């Protein structure tokens, strides 16, 4: 991708390379005329170039514009259509737009063979399962998409460390738990809670941790392979022919973490509501902050999912009556900490959108307190909500 983007000659002078083919030769000095790997500006330059290409060619290829701007992740594109015909036309426009900028897509994968009929064999993905973070070779967890089943899956590249766990080994393993969409938050937060306990003990980096931490950590590691059982459907059934949609956002907090989690409900042709877990975020701290996180989560989802959901169909749920009282009251009555957060919450939501949910029916409770990977795979409250 970088090698297809030319750099202005005046700027390319700062991309210098020293080279010789043999130790006996004099060193020659070159400048790199294309975007150069390893420079801090390279990722921005590449993405900015793609956006400019979309702006320049958007009139000719209108369907490809949003894909390039919103569904492209560095040099990977994840997109699709509501029908085969729509997807094929989208594919044609994307290829044509990128070709006008001398870019060529490879490693094609699709959940329908018709979309690959005109793709040369050498340009198709070599494996049936598409590893979405294949470049992240140091990560323990990897997210994959299986075109045959149209499901997201988690693959585990993990070897159980031998010997007693130390703060260094626990931190190293926790840092490798790659979960950018937050689907495994209940498991990840368990590891972070253990790490939090280690900091409070002020142990040396290579000192074996006490049995009170050694035992739960060993159990955590042994159960981690269970995440490979998890299958998440990619398709949310959010097509234009299905306008009935509701967004439900739950928030919760414990003494160690607070979280917000969102579920999209879509009604099918038979009138049945289908519920899907959406990406989320979890950050250490408390209840009111969890409510603010829920409000920010809705902002994030509306921006990136771009789903036409009626404002009245977006509902927020908390299991704390005092937080509900703060939100439904006059923000100016409360102390500064509370008042500031209530004002921010009401910037993106209305008082009438906030509801009460019992703690045992609150899925955000799972990621504020943690779950073992063994329980997570079968935990319907987390994957489907209380519906």
> Per-residue DSSP letters for 283-324?
ESS-HHHHHHHHHHHHHHHHHHH-----GGGEEEEES-HHHH
**pLDDT tens-place string over residues 162-204:** 778 999 989 888 887 878 788 888 998 898 889 888 888 888 9
Domain ranges of the chain: 1-126, 141-231, 235-384
Q: Which two tokens stand for residue 10?
A: 């005046």
Query: Does the structure show a pLDDT above 80 at 31?
Result: yes
End-to-end CA distance of the chain: 45
Q: Which two tokens stand for residue 117?
A: 């009929």
Q: Which two tokens stand for residue 239?
A: 């097509």
- Provide the pLDDT for residue 105: 92
- Provide the pLDDT for residue 239: 64
Q: What is the pTM of this model?
A: 0.75
DSSP state of 26: P
Query: Does the structure show a pLDDT above 60 at 136?
Result: no
Q: Which of 36-50, 154-168, 175-189, 334-348 has the weakest average pLDDT?
A: 154-168
Mean pLDDT of all residues in the chain?
Answer: 86
- Provide the pLDDT for residue 137: 39
- Provide the pLDDT for residue 377: 85
3-state secondary structure of 200: helix
Nearest residue to 385 (alpha-carbon basis) of 232, 295, 275: 275
**pLDDT tens-place string over residues 236-270:** 876 655 566 889 999 988 877 888 899 988 877 66
Mean pLDDT for the stretch of residues 99-115 = 92
Q: How confident is the model at residue 285 (pLDDT cuts 50, 70, 90)?
A: very low
3-state secondary structure of 233: strand
Of residues 368 and 54, more confidently modeled:
54
Class of domain 235-384: alpha beta
- Provide the pLDDT for residue 372: 87
């Amino acid at each position: 991708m970088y090698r297809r983007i030319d750099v202005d000659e005046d700027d390319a002078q700062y991309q210098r390379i020293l080279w010789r083919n043999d130790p006996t030769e004099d060193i020659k000095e070159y400048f790199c005329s294309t975007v150069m790997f390893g420079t801090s500006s390279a990722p921005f330059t590449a993405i900015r170039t793609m956006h400019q290409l979309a702006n320049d060619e958007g009139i000719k290829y209108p369907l490809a514009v949003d894909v390039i701007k919103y569904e492209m992740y560095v040099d990977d594109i994840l997109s699709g259509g509501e029908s085969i015909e729509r997807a094929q036309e989208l594919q044609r426009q994307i290829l044509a737009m990128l070709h006008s900028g001398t870019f060529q897509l490879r490693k094609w994968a699709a959940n329908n063979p018709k979309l690959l009929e005109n793709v040369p064999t050498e340009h198709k993905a070599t494996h049936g399962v598409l590893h979405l973070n294949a470049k992240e070779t140091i990560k323990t967890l990897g997210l994959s998409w299986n075109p045959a089943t149209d499901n997201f899956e988690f693959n585990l590249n993990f070897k159980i460390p031998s010997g007693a766990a130390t703060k260094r080994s626990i931190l190293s393993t926790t840092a490798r738990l790659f979960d950018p969409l937050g689907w495994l938050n209940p498991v990840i937060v368990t590891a972070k809670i253990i790490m939090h306990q280690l900091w409070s003990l002020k142990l040396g980096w290579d000192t074996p941790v006490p049995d009170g931490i050694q035992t739960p950590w060993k159990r955590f590691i042994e159960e981690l392979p269970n995440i490979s059982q998890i299958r998440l459907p990619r398709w949310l059934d959010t097509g234009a022919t299905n306008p009935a949609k509701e967004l439900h956002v739950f928030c919760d907090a414990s003494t160690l973490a607070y979280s917000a989690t969102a579920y999209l409900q879509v009604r099918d042709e038979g009138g049945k509501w289908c519920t899907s877990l959406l990406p989320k975020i979890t950050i250490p701290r408390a209840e009111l902050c969890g409510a603010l996180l829920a409000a920010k989560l809705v902002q994030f989802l509306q921006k990136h999912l771009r789903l036409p959901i009626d404002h009245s169909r977006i509902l927020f749920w908390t299991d704390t009556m005092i937080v509900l009282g703060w939100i439904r009251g006059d923000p100016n009555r409360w102390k500064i900490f509370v008042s500031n957060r209530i004002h921010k919450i009401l910037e993106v939501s209305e008082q009438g959108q906030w509801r009460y949910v019992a703690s045992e029916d609150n899925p955000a409770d799972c990621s504020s307190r943690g779950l073992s990977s063994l329980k997570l795979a079968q935990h319907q409250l987390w994957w489907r909500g209380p519906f």
